[in-house]
Amino acid sequence: MEDAGTQDGRKPIIEIIEMHKWFDEFHVLKDINLRVLPQEKIVVCGPSGSGKSTMIRCINRLEEHQRGKIIVNGTELTRDLKNIEKVRAEVGMVFQHFNLFPHLTILDNLTLGPIWVRKMPKKEAEELAMHYLEIVRIPEQANKYPGQISGGQQQRVAIARSLCMKPEIMLFDEPTSALDPEMIKEVLDVMVDLAKEGMTMIVVTHEMGFAKTVADRVIFMDYGEIVEENEPNAFFDNPQHERTQLFLSQIL
Ligand SMILES: Nc1ncnc2c1ncn2[C@@H]1O[C@H](COP(=O)(O)OP(=O)(O)OP(=O)(O)O)[C@@H](O)[C@H]1O
């Protein structure tokens, strides 16, 4: 099943097959099936506690699933450490809280991974970091500390930090929900740029404007299940499931 590809011949870059996860006795993810094609943009929405974060955290093994399969770029996630490291190298993740090192400058936050994980020479890592700070539109902040820049700028640094590791897939876990309204747009604009560049993205977000304009597919989760998925127009204009209808009526 995992080798089937699609009708247009492209093979998925992420496949989740009949995946389940429990936190002790609590069955948090139930029979998750998801295939993501290269360069696809998926938005995941759903009520609080429905399992959205846990699902994407399973994709880079920040959480461990107990049943089913997760295959990332041809590698099935197992407990093997090498295998986990390989997948982590291919999957960048941006969190709600930016998780920058407060005692390091922006530049040093960005070069840390390339120097220590990728063994890149310092000068090359700094050039790479400056390149991605340009991409996220804040090269002038390179020598500041995280506490000296705004939340929106910190989140853009977090995105640039992920990009410095040259991921093939980016996961975003509510990247704007800790931000003031005026900063949300600046982060979403950077994500739109990334989408246009062809990055494969899975984004957990309540920003339905972003979902409508950027997503190829929107997925609705509730009680640990994928209840409905569709392309944005059909998803928003004609939701099929009553749980989706109720959710959309509450947030739109
Ligand atoms: N480490 C954990 N141990 C036990 N239960 C957990 C753990 N992490 C999450 N949960 C529970 O799993 C359920 C799903 O959590 P998850 O964070 O994936 O939901 P979510 O849909 O992302 O919610 P939100 O939109 O509020 O972030 C929740 O009931 C949560 O309390």
51 lines ligand 1 (CB under 6 A): yes
Report the pLDDT value the prediction gives residue 7, as an integer from 0 to 100.
58
- Predicted confidence (pLDDT) per residue in 145-167, tens digit: 999 999 999 999 999 999 999 99
* Residue with CA nearest ligand 1 atom 4: 23
109 lines ligand 1 (CB under 6 A): no
53 lines ligand 1 (CB under 6 A): yes
Give the pair of three-digit tokens for residue 103: 């005692």
Report the pLDDT value the prediction gives residue 2, as an integer from 0 to 100.
42
Model ipTM?
0.97
Give the pair of three-digit tokens for residue 90: 């291919």
Q: Which residues of the chain have pLDDT under 70?
A: 1-8
Q: Compute CA distances 153 → 97, 118, 165, 186, 202, whole Å.
A: 12, 25, 19, 8, 21
Give the pair of three-digit tokens for residue 74: 């041809």
- Distance from the CA of 54 to the center of ligand 1, in angstroms? 6
176 lines ligand 1 (CB under 6 A): no
The answer to whether the beta carbons of residues 94 and 105 sit under 8 Å apart is no
- Distance from the CA of 121 to the center of ligand 1, in angstroms? 39
